[in-house]
């Protein structure tokens, strides 16, 4: 059950990240994050009714708040990078980074890794190098890679924090997350003068984005409470596949051959780490 939930979150995250990148090309990243997260609260409310909590502790809410704060950094970094760069390149870098971190945490806590897991980590590191390869040597690509890695690292910590919450708390840790991220996002948006909601279709896009992101959060929160951290996180980290495929279909993006190899290695790394 936890594996199915984690894979479901990958689909929602992947589609949501694609919309997040598109929306950020038209509006400030803080407008996008503030309003999308607010407009996605309806999904959380439904989830709280469908998955009632047995016992909610202060620790559960605090872990959720920490996860939300770190996740907000990841979202801002990812959306801005997706908006500025190629989605087929950026998403796999973030996904491979997200996949590796929880495995490292599991290892530090005494978990044993198989040979295949070690191969997966090596593939992920190679993927980052190949995906970021630019024969023109432009410094902008270095910054893009840095932001993508930052986003992936933030998401890895987000998953680790959510995994600390109890199954009995249901989805209430996500209440702590949103109770932290929405005020912060609006505060930053207000400081930058971009807190006003966009109109028309742009607002509708943010509503869809917010619902997808929250549906993904609900799925992964339940998966992490019910299954092992490493496997659930790596399965959820398949989200770049859905972002990249959508970008190829909708935006007709075409990565360079060496970067295509990197993308394949990133996907292979994620699969190897799951098995």
Q: How confident is the model at residue 273 (pLDDT cuts 50, 70, 90)?
A: low
Q: How far is C-alpha 46 from the chain's CA centre?
A: 22
| pLDDT (0 to 100) of residue 139 | 44
Q: What average pLDDT does range 63-83 have in this prediction? A: 89
Domain boundaries, the chain: 2-274
Q: Phi and psi at residue 194, in whole multiples of 5°? A: -130, 30
* Residue 197 CB contacts under 8 Å (≥ 6 apart), including other chains: 31, 35, 203, 206
What is the pTM assigned to this prediction? Answer: 0.83
Q: What average pLDDT does range 61-75 have in this prediction? A: 94
Q: What one-character DSSP code corresponds to residue 169?
A: G
| pLDDT (0 to 100) of residue 266 | 80
Q: What one-character DSSP code corresponds to residue 167?
A: G
**Contact (CB, 8 A) for 56 and 165:** no
Report the percent of the chain where pLDDT is more than 70.
Answer: 92
110 Rama sector, left if φ>0, alpha if ψ -120 to 50, beta otherwise: left
* Residue 40 CB contacts under 8 Å (≥ 6 apart), including other chains: 207, 209, 210, 211, 212, 213, 214
C-alpha to C-alpha distance for 129 and 257, rounded to whole angstroms: 14
Q: Phi and psi at residue 54, in whole multiples of 5°? A: -90, -50
> Residue 201 is encoded by which pair of tokens?
């279709």
Lowest mean pLDDT among 27-36, 60-69, 131-140, 195-204: 131-140
Per-residue pLDDT for 86 more than 50? yes
> Residue 145 is encoded by which pair of tokens?
């890679």
51 Rama sector, left if φ>0, alpha if ψ -120 to 50, beta otherwise: beta
> Residue 253 is encoded by which pair of tokens?
């993006």
193 Rama sector, left if φ>0, alpha if ψ -120 to 50, beta otherwise: left
Of 6 and 62, the structure prediction assigns the larger pLDDT to 62
> Residue 23 is encoded by which pair of tokens?
């929306």
Per-residue pLDDT for 140 more than 70? no
Q: Which helix (H) or strand (E) holds 118?
A: helix 115-131
> Residue 97 is encoded by which pair of tokens?
């980074």
Q: What is the largest CA-CA distance in the chain?
A: 57
* Among candidate residues 31, 2, 55, 42, the one with its CA nearest the CA of residue 205: 31
Q: What average pLDDT does range 245-255 have in this prediction? A: 77
Most confident segment among 125-134, 198-207, 249-258: 198-207
CA distances (Å), origin 137, targets 86, 131, 132: 16, 13, 10
> For the chain, what is the mean pLDDT?
85
């Amino acid at each position: 059950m936890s594996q199915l939930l984690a894979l479901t979150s990958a689909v929602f995250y992947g589609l949501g990240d694609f919309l997040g990148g598109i929306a950020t090309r038209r509006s400030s990243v803080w407008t996008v994050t503030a309003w999308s997260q607010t407009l996605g609260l309806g999904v959380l409310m439904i989830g709280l009714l469908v998955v009632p909590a047995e016992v909610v502790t202060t620790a559960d809410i605090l872990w959720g708040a920490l996860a939300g704060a770190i996740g907000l950094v990841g979202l801002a970094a990812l959306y801005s990078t997706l908006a500025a760069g190629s989605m087929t390149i950026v998403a796999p870098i973030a996904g491979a980074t997200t996949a590796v971190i929880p495995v490292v945490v599991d290892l530090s806590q005494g978990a044993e890794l198989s040979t295949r897991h070690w191969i997966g980590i090596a593939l992920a590191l190679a993927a980052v190098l190949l995906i970021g390869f630019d024969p023109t040597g432009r410094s902008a690509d270095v910054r893009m890679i840095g932001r993508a890695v930052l986003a992936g690292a933030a998401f890895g910590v987000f998953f680790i924090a959510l995994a600390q919450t109890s199954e009995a708390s249901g989805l209430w840790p996500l209440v702590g997350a949103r109770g932290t991220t929405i005020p912060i996002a609006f505060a930053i948006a207000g400081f930058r003068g971009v807190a006003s909601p966009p109109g028309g279709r742009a607002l509708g896009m943010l509503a869809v984005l917010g619902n997808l992101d929250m549906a993904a959060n609900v799925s992964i929160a339940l998966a992490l409470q019910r299954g092992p951290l490493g496997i659930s996180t790596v399965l959820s980290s398949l989200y770049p596949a859905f972002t990249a495929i959508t970008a190829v279909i909708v935006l007709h993006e075409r990565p360079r051959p060496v970067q295509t190899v990197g993308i394949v290695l990133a996907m292979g790394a994620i699969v190897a780490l799951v098995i």
